[in-house]
């Protein structure tokens, strides 16, 4: 789709760099919430941990696209990791 058009790749890279920044804020928020949850309940929340793991995999997919390690366009153009 974009392999012959560098401008489309640049646009996609800008979009995914923005998505990465939003996810970064979400992950930091999850970490704070997880700390509070563990402090109150004396155990971490499994659901938050699993969500953090999946967001980390998605962020990795974005980084691989941004650094040209992969030509696969991240979610929502492909499967969520």
- Taking only the tens of pLDDT, the chain with its 81 residues reads 555 688 889 999 999 999 999 999 999 999 999 999 999 998 888 998 999 999 999 999 999 999 999 888 888 777 777
The pLDDT, as a whole number, for residue 2 is: 53
Name the residue with tokens 């499994």: 46
Please give the Cα distance from 55 to 60 (Å, whole number). Answer: 9
**Residue 75, domain member (yes or no):** no
* Domains of the chain: total: 1
**Helix count and strand count (H, E) for the chain:** 2, 0
Q: Would you say residue 23 lies in a domain?
A: yes
In a domain, 41, yes or no: yes
Whole-prediction pTM:
0.82
Containing structural domain, residue 17: 6-66
Q: Identify the pLDDT of residue 17.
A: 96
Residue 1 lies in a domain: no
Q: Is 34 a member of any domain? A: yes
Q: Please report whether residue 73 resides in a domain.
A: no
C-alpha distances out from residue 69 to 33, 37, 42, 48, 62, Å = 33, 37, 40, 29, 10
| Residue 12 in domain | yes
- Residue 80 placed within a domain: no
């Amino acid at each position: 789709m974009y392999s012959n058009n560098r401008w489309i790749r640049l646009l996609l890279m800008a979009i995914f760099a923005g998505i990465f920044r939003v996810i970064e804020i979400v992950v930091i928020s999850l970490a704070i919430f997880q700390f509070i949850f563990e402090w109150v309940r004396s155990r971490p929340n499994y659901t938050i941990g699993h969500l953090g793991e999946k967001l980390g995999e998605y962020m990795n997919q974005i980084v691989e696209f941004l650094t040209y390690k992969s030509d696969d366009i991240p979610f929502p153009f492909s499967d969520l990791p």
